[in-house]
């Protein structure tokens, strides 16, 4: 009888422990940078209120603590017409999150000494750069010989963001390579050409072999996959109108990534943990390399001197990631923007905390400032430079 009673007590104790663990997983507590405790219901109320106020159809949130995903949830809809819910497994356009993933891949090659950050890229190519398709416009300007991988990753190549944004859609240097910051998708695309030449593999192959499969990112790719068809999100403009879904068939290091909130949160955790990169290589990737003294990342203010606030936080760019200083130590971040899509990620490495936001709405960046502050305790992210103007911000 005593043995039977002891068995019942032990079974009851185990049941209580399992119930407590299940409850903790269902309602985790996140500790913010500024010392607050957040639980799931509180996060839910905040996110839903802001989404309703700014008319955001769908938003996914991941909170990372101790370099692990502590909280992950999707809100709203991936398709307003069918009322299909946005899920953490929903395929979403990553936009310039593509660049951060590519930088992680490039740094693996640097770590293996297959690529030197400061060696002219021309030395890795089999013919002069202007002889490659798409680079004929540079033939009359010998500065292409100066371009390096470091310049591509720090956005200091002097090339435009995209040639098709130029009045004549020609590719040309805006300034001498290595002399200043200017966000450039063209620079990342050039580095993709070099990486594919070195490895003799496409970016699609390389990313699957080196990143997606090792990290278990089963629903992430630089090109559209048939597996995405059953669960993908549409993007919506500022008026809430759906935009045509682009199903990309050509990999682009600067902006073709399709991923899910769960996969990208796992990638972010892997970067935080240093998986795939040794400590020195990761530190090189996430340290400030070039200062950003301008008021805005894009548009006419992208070359106008910045206010004191940007200098105070030492806003800069690392290798594929932006960087800044905060009261909680150094931080690195990456965003992804396009019509109908707004994404943001930031990591405070000394505190081992981070935040991921992914949305299928052009309105979502209007709530990013408040989400950063209230969910993470981040009041340092340069929201004006990012153009994260709140939905209820009074006009100037």
For residue 168, the domain's CATH number is 3.40.710.10
For residue 311, the model assigns a pLDDT of 83
**Residue 108 CB neighbour total at 10 angstroms:** 17
- For residues 49 and 67, what is the distance between their CA atoms, to the nearest angstrom? 28
- At 274, which helix (H) or strand (E)? none
Specify the number of domains making up the chain: 1
Does 12 reside within a domain?
no
For residue 26, the model assigns a pLDDT of 55
Does 17 reside within a domain?
no
Can you name the residues that pair with 284 across neighbouring β-strands?
Answer: none
- CA nearest to 28, candidates 19, 37, 17: 37
- CA nearest to 212, candidates 146, 152, 254, 262: 262
For residue 305, the model assigns a pLDDT of 85
Does 18 reside within a domain?
no
Q: In this structure, what token pair is assigned to residue 272?
A: 């935080």
Contacts of 378 (CB under 8 A, 6+ apart): 33, 326, 331, 346, 348, 355, 372
Region class of 87: left (phi > 0), else alpha (psi between -120 and 50), else beta:
beta
Does 362 reside within a domain?
yes
Contact 94, 264 (CB under 8 A): yes
Vertex 337 angle, CA 300 and 98, to 5°: 120
**CA-CA-CA-CA dihedral for 69, 71, 74, 76, to nearest 10:** -150
Q: Among all chains, which residue has been given the structure tokens 């090109």?
A: 223
Does 41 reside within a domain?
yes
For residue 303, the model assigns a pLDDT of 84
Does 126 reside within a domain?
yes
Contact 393, 382 (CB under 8 A): no
- For residues 60 and 241, what is the distance between their CA atoms, to the nearest angstrom? 19
CA distances from 107 to 59, 116, 261 (A): 30, 10, 23
Give the chain's radius of gyration (CA, Å).
Answer: 22
Can you name the residues that pair with 357 across neighbouring β-strands?
Answer: 61, 344
- For residues 16 and 19, what is the distance between their CA atoms, to the nearest angstrom? 5
- For residues 269 and 355, what is the distance between their CA atoms, to the nearest angstrom? 10
- CA nearest to 340, candidates 358, 362, 359, 363: 362
- For residues 384 and 292, what is the distance between their CA atoms, to the nearest angstrom? 13
The answer to whether the predicted template modeling score (pTM) of the entire model surpasses 0.85 is yes
For residue 373, the model assigns a pLDDT of 98
- For residues 183 and 380, what is the distance between their CA atoms, to the nearest angstrom? 21
- For residues 186 and 181, what is the distance between their CA atoms, to the nearest angstrom? 13
Backbone angles phi, psi at 134, to 5 degrees: 95, -10
For residue 20, the model assigns a pLDDT of 33
Q: What range does the domain containing 260 cover?
A: 30-386
Can you name the residues that pair with 291 across neighbouring β-strands?
Answer: 316
Region class of 74: left (phi > 0), else alpha (psi between -120 and 50), else beta:
beta
Contact 73, 51 (CB under 8 A): no
The one-character DSSP state at 210 is I
Does 249 reside within a domain?
yes
For residue 155, the model assigns a pLDDT of 98
* Per-residue pLDDT in tens (0 to 9) along the chain, 396 residues: 444 444 444 444 443 333 333 333 457 899 999 999 999 999 999 999 999 999 999 999 999 999 999 999 999 999 999 999 999 999 999 999 999 999 999 999 999 999 999 999 999 999 999 999 999 999 999 999 999 999 999 999 999 999 999 999 999 999 999 999 999 999 999 999 999 999 999 999 999 999 999 999 999 999 999 999 999 999 999 999 999 999 999 999 999 999 999 999 999 999 999 999 999 999 999 999 999 999 889 888 888 887 676 889 999 999 999 999 999 999 999 999 999 999 999 999 999 999 999 999 999 999 999 999 999 999 999 999 999 999 987 765
Sign of CA dihedral 234, 235, 239, 240: positive
Does 11 reside within a domain?
no
The stretches of the chain forming alpha helices (DSSP H) are 2-26, 40-54, 97-111, 149-154, 185-199, 203-207, 261-273, 279-286, 308-312, 368-371, 383-386
Q: Among all chains, which residue has been given the structure tokens 């935009």?
A: 243
């Amino acid at each position: 009888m005593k043995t039977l009673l002891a068995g019942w007590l032990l079974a009851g104790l185990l049941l209580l422990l399992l119930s407590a663990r299940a409850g903790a997983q269902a309602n985790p507590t996140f500790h913010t940078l500024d010392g607050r405790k957040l639980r799931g219901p509180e996060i839910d109320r905040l996110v839903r209120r802001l989404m309703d106020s700014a008319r955001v159809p769908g938003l996914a949130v991941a909170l990372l603590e101790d370099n692990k995903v502590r909280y992950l949830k999707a809100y709203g809809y991936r398709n307003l017409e069918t009322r299909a819910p946005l899920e953490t497994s929903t395929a979403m356009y990553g936009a310039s999150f593509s660049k951060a993933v590519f930088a992680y891949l490039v740094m693996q090659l640097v770590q293996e000494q297959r690529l030197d950050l400061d060696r002219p890229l021309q030395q890795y190519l089999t013919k002069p750069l202007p002889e490659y398709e798409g680079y004929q416009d540079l033939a009359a300007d010998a500065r292409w010989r100066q371009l390096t991988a470091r310049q591509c990753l720090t956005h200091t190549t002097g090339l435009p963001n995209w040639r098709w944004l130029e009045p004549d859609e020609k590719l040309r240097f805006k300034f001498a390579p290595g002399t200043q910051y200017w966000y450039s998708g063209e620079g990342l695309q050039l580095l993709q050409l070099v990486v594919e030449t070195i490895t003799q593999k496409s970016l699609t192959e390389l990313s699957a072999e080196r990143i997606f499969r090792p990290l278990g990112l089963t629903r992430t790719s630089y090109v559209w996959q048939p597996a995405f068809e059953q669960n993908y999100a549409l993007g919506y403009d500022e008026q809430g109108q759906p935009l045509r879904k682009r199903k990309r068939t050509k990999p682009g290091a600067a902006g073709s990534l399709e991923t899910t909130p769960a996969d990208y949160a796992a990638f972010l955790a892997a970067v935080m943990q240093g998986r795939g990169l040794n400590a020195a290589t990761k530190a090189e990737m996430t340290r400030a390399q070039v200062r950003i003294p301008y008021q805005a990342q894009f548009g006419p203010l992208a070359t106008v001197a910045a206010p004191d606030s940007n200098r105070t936080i030492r806003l800069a760019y690392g290798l594929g990631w932006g960087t800044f200083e905060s009261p909680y130590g150094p931080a690195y971040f990456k965003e992804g923007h396009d019509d109908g899509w707004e994404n943001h990620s930031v990591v405070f490495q000394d505190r081992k905390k981070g935040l991921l936001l992914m949305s299928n709405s052009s309105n979502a960046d209007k709530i990013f400032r408040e989400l950063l502050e209230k969910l993470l305790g981040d009041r340092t992210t340069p929201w004006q430079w990012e153009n994260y103007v709140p939905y209820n911000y009074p006009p100037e």
